[in-house]
Structure 1
């Protein structure tokens, strides 16, 4: 097995954890928390998922950058949008930065004060990060066909 293929498998497992965890949160736990107006449902999931989820996100970033370099997409060509692969890598990096911003907002502004009155703000972040994750997954699948 080539090293690139191994890194791809690690990347796909991390994506499964990251996107699958957020889909689970968004589809199963968030509706219950909103219906019951109970932020503890979200907080419990967050406490249990965060160590694995953040490890998966870090793994995604490192393995994604590694694979981009394998495709010849180096720091100098990030955000050049010059070819199919460069477009995908650039968009995925922008979405990664947006994900990090959402995570920082959640960790430092919303979660410390999460209650029944600001639960909707957390819901918006959860849905946003979930949609970003699914979008990144779809974008990654375009590499098989040369990117965008």
Structure 2
């Protein structure tokens, strides 16, 4: 598959993933916190998961595929040896942290979500939103040859 088509799919996935989290953070969450009603959040999450999780999966697949096309295979991840490899490694690190937040939310927070624990869920939401935005910014550096940490 051409790199350009992979990039388009990756960006569409990103628009859905990050856009959904921005809506969640700036529109849904303030209402949830104001009304102290976890049900509003749960309804949004249930609807959003149907498109958000497939978008995340598309981003992971296309991101890894594009990394291989750029010569950054799994054996070079997390070495930070060249600028493009650094972008890939940073994005994978941010993805790993995102997965940890998702696991934490699904295992520890959502099953016990009550009005009193909404602030913990808000922290998870804001964190995943910032991580998603950071992944977009870091990814944009490929266009300029990567990130040189040396």
Do the structures match in fold with TM over 0.5? Answer: yes
Which residue of structure 1 lines up, in the alignment, with residue 13 of structure 2? 14
Which residue of structure 1 lines up, in the alignment, with residue 22 of structure 2? 23
Distance, in Å, in 1 between the alignment partners of 2:7 and 2:61 is 11
Equivalent residue runs for 1:33-112 within 5 Å:
33-112=32-111
The secondary structure found in structure 1 opposite 2:116 is coil
Distance, in Å, in 1 between the alignment partners of 2:146 and 2:37 is 42
Distance, in Å, in 2 between the alignment partners of 1:91 and 1:6 is 23
Q: Give every structure 1 segment of 4 or more consecutive aligned residues whose post-TM-superposition deviation is greater than 6 Å.
A: none
Distance, in Å, in 2 between the alignment partners of 1:104 and 1:58 is 16
Stretch deviating more after TM superposition (34-43 or 130-139): 34-43
Distance, in Å, in 1 between the alignment partners of 2:61 and 2:3 is 13
- The number of residue pairs the alignment matches comes to 147
Q: Quote how far apart the aligned CAs of 1:108 are.
A: 1.6
Q: Quote how far apart the aligned CAs of 1:71 are.
A: 0.3
The secondary structure found in structure 1 opposite 2:115 is coil
Q: Quote how far apart the aligned CAs of 1:106 are.
A: 1.0
Q: CA RMSD in A?
A: 0.8
Which residue of structure 2 lines up, in the alignment, with residue 127 of structure 1? 126
